[in-house]
Amino acid sequence: MRKILYTFLSLMVAFTGLVSCSDDQTYAEQKDKERKAIDAFLKRDVTILGPAGDTICNVGVINVISEQKFYEQDSTTNLENNEYVLFASSGIYMQIVREGVGDKIEKGQTRQIACRFTEFNILGDSLQLRNDVSYWHTTPDIMAVTNTSGSFSAKFLTEGLPGAMYQTYGEEKVLDGWLAPFPYIRVGRQKTEDGEIAKVRLIVPHTAGQSSAASNVYPCFYEILYQECRD
């Protein structure tokens, strides 16, 4: 069954690529199309729906703030104003829904983090992948995250039965977009009723995205939960 799903997802990603390149656009034209899709997404009051019409995520109209304002606010985004900070150097937009429990990953540390996520193709205006459903319950995407002098890198764990991202895109290296929150969030496990794990929302351009997004030049929206794995 997993093999069938993997084949389906692979075909879906390939089809997305064919659609995005069908007009033989230049790379500059594709980037311009991506930029316009992101700009429209920020203003659209988007609600992401599941296959059954259920609401997965209310994105809303996004209020973009600068990195300067983000740092002035103690590295937080105001949820009432639906703020996302734009990191100008990478083009990544980030909203910290919850800072999380536990501790930040300190310099020199490597820690294993389990992720539950939703991936929405902004250019295709479609839900593309999610592992927050029962099918993937026993195989979350787990990554080993390393902080090297303040610079974060990560690899998906692939032993046994890996998670949805590796099975779909075949990349061990974690996409750069998923690493953007780590300087600002805490990773641990929920031990009390009000001690909720870290939750972020991201808009990731193709330059910081997974392999299909990178090769076909499309941006993705992610909602991600980060939780430290058990010892």
According to the model, what pLDDT value does residue 193 have? 65
According to the model, what pLDDT value does residue 194 have? 67
Q: What is the DSSP string of 112-169?
A: EEEEEEEEEETTTTEEEEE--SGGGTT--EEEEEEEETTEEEEEE--SSS--HHHHHH
Question: How far apart, in whole angstroms, are the C-alpha atoms of residue 228 and residue 105?
Answer: 10
In single-letter form, the type of residue at position 91 comes to G
DSSP type of residue 175? P
Report, in this order, helix, strand and coil percent for the chain, each rounded to 5: 30, 30, 40
According to the model, what pLDDT value does residue 1 have? 43
Q: How far is CA 68 from CA 16, 71, 72, 74, 202, in A?
A: 36, 5, 6, 10, 18
pLDDT digits (tens, 9 = 90+) for 158-196: 988 899 999 999 999 999 999 999 999 999 988 776 679
- Whichever domain contains 193, its CATH number is 3.10.50.40
Low-confidence ranges of the chain (pLDDT < 50): 1-11, 14-20, 22
- State the pTM of this model: 0.89
| Structure tokens given for 26 | 């230049």
Domain count for the chain = 1
Question: How far apart, in whole angstroms, are the C-alpha atoms of residue 89 and residue 208?
Answer: 11
SS3 99: coil
According to the model, what pLDDT value does residue 155 have? 97
List the domain range (segments joined by +) for residue 142.
2-228
Residues whose CB is less than 8 angstroms from the CB of residue 182 and which lie 6 or more positions away in sequence, other chains included: 104, 105, 145, 147, 152
